[in-house]
Amino acid sequence: MYIVYETNNAIDSLRSKYLVLELDTIEFSEGDEVKTVKAFVVIDTAHIPLEEISKMENLKELHENLIKNYHLQNWNFCLQAMEHLTGSFKGEVDTFYDALTSRIKVLENEVLPEDWTGNVLTTQTIESE
């Protein structure tokens, strides 16, 4: 899986050549400031099976709705969406779907604060290239 961050200013140019899907929003501290950056997976569609090409736009839309519903805490939608998405995109996103499924299994048993964002917290700084 090839992952890029929105900080490298290459997302738009990558979208003209590849399929680019949002994965997570990463939250980190830089001094006293809290910053966020989105992580994306870049998929070369050249070797996607022909039968999947016709479904690509629907799969992309389902993935986008998965990310939106994750932030809305709609766990049931997310789990069902990942059942359909697993194996798509040449399987390149399956490890993310596995990790997100594990994350949801923990979160669905938690009482989350009203200001929960769904962001992944890290102590590392993500720098621009």
For 41-79, what is each residue's pLDDT tens digit?
999 888 777 777 788 889 999 999 999 999 999 999 999
Sign of CA dihedral 101, 71, 6, 22: positive
Residue 101 in any domain: the answer is: yes
The domain of 18 spans 2-121
From the CB of residue 5, how many other CB atoms can be counted at a distance below 10 Å?
17
Residue 86 in any domain: the answer is: yes
Asked if residue 61 lies in contact with residue 25, where contact means CB atoms within 8 angstroms, the answer is: no
Residue 79 in any domain: the answer is: yes
Helix segments in 72-93, DSSP class H: 75-85
Categorize the per-residue pLDDT at 124 as very low, low, confident or very high, splitting at 50, 70 and 90. low
Which is more confidently placed, 2 or 77? 77
